[in-house]
Every structure is written in structure tokens, then in C-alpha cells.
Amino acid sequence: MNATSRPLIAEFLGTALFVFIGAGSIVANVMTVGGVTPLGIALAHGVGMAILVSAFMGISGAHFNPAVSLGLFVAGRIDGRTLGRYVLAQLAGAIAGAALLKGVFAAAAVRAVSAGTPQLSLSIGFGQGIAIEAAFTFFLVSAVFGTAVSSEAPKIGGFGIGLAIFVSAVVVGGLTGAALNPARAFGPALVAWSWHSQAVYWIGPLAGGALAGLVWKVLLLPKA
């Protein structure tokens, strides 16, 4: 295994497991007639990501999210070639994770929630959905910079990043699904062929991630 392929495998596997665990909690909630609960779904996403980031950080940086990779690119921490390769690995992993979910869980439950594809609440519009996803992705990517990227970051593994996802899911999970991640939205949408407001989960997170990268590069990262 060469040095080039190891990070891509880590990004693929980590994203696949994140989608399988996160979207799987939504399917399991249907199968247990609400037994997982919205709080349990938020915990599955947040704790799952915390574990995966801690496990794979030393191999690839554990992005598992095109918005995170874009933020790091804007901040000058990765180059364009790495950005493209990482995003492709993440999208492929998300598809694999959703496909595995479809193969493991009850078909009726998978169909009922479109394989865990995030959905906009009827109480908010398209623009509001983009704004919410952008704001909370900015929060998430800031957690990535502050706890994993900065030379001043505390040595807490993926704990802070997972907590950011958990908090976001608690606050706006009922409004947008708190995807904050184009891959998390894309993989299940492709497998379930459910494209409801898919653009929200690309425009919002990518804008929030890019803005976070710019703010941290210009204002917050320590200067060499």
C-alpha cells in the first residue's frame, strides 16, 4: 500500500462508515417505531464521527466531508489535486455506505426514510435551508480547524468535531437534517433515488466550509 492510496482508502472507508452509521440510525428509528429517538440519531452522527476522526486522523486527516476538504483548500492546507481526490473518495464512500445500509436493513424501513437522505422541513424554504446548512457547517469546520488543524489545537482527537455535529443535529436536525456534508446527502440520495432539495446540501455546506477556511486562514490560525 503506497503513501498516495492510504489517505484515499481512509477517506473512502471513513465516509462509508459515517453514512452507514448515521443514516442507519434513521432507518433503525423507523424499524423500532421511534425507539432510537431524534436525540439518539444526533448521538449516532456525533459520536460516530468522533470515533472515526480519531481512528483515521493520522492517515488522511479524516475529512470525510467535501465541505471540510474545501475549507482546508481555501486555507492553503491541501492542494487542488488532493481536494479533488479526497472529494471523489468521499462521494464513493458515501454511496458504498448507503448501499450497504440498503442491503442490511429492512427494505420497507429504508424506503420510508429514503435511506436516511436528509430532507427539508415543510416549515422552511429553500433559501432558509441553505442558510442553516451554511451557518452550521461554518460551525463544524471551525471545530475542525480549532481542534485538529491549528498548531495550537488541544489533543482531543475527534471529540470536538463529533460534538459539533451532535449539537448541530440537536438544534437543526428537525429542520434540514443537519447534513453539513454534501457526501452525507449525496450517497443516500443516489441509492434511494430521492433528490428532494439536494442542492441545499451542496450550496450551503460548501459555502460555509469555504468561509470558515477563509476566516481561519486570515484571522485565526497562528502565523508561521
The pLDDT assigned to 1 comes to: 65
The pLDDT assigned to 223 comes to: 85
Find the mean pLDDT for residues 98-105: 98
Q: How far is CA 102 from CA 38, 109, 116, 188, in A?
A: 21, 9, 10, 9
Instruction: State the CATH architecture for 5-220.
Output: Up-down Bundle (1.20)
Per-residue pLDDT tens digits for 127-168:
999 999 999 999 999 999 999 999 999 989 899 999 999 999
The CB-side HSE value for 6 (13 A sphere, CA atoms) comes to 9
Output the nine-digit C-alpha cell for 24: 442507519
The CB-side HSE value for 11 (13 A sphere, CA atoms) comes to 25
The pLDDT > 90 percentage for the chain reads 96
Find the mean pLDDT for residues 72-101: 98
Whether 17 and 52 have beta carbons less than 8 Å apart is answered as: yes
Query: Which among 201, 180, 199, 19 has a CA at the least distance from the CA of 93?
Result: 19
> What residues does each domain of the chain span?
5-220
Per-residue pLDDT tens digits for 189-222:
999 999 999 999 999 999 999 999 999 999 999 9
The pLDDT assigned to 3 comes to: 73
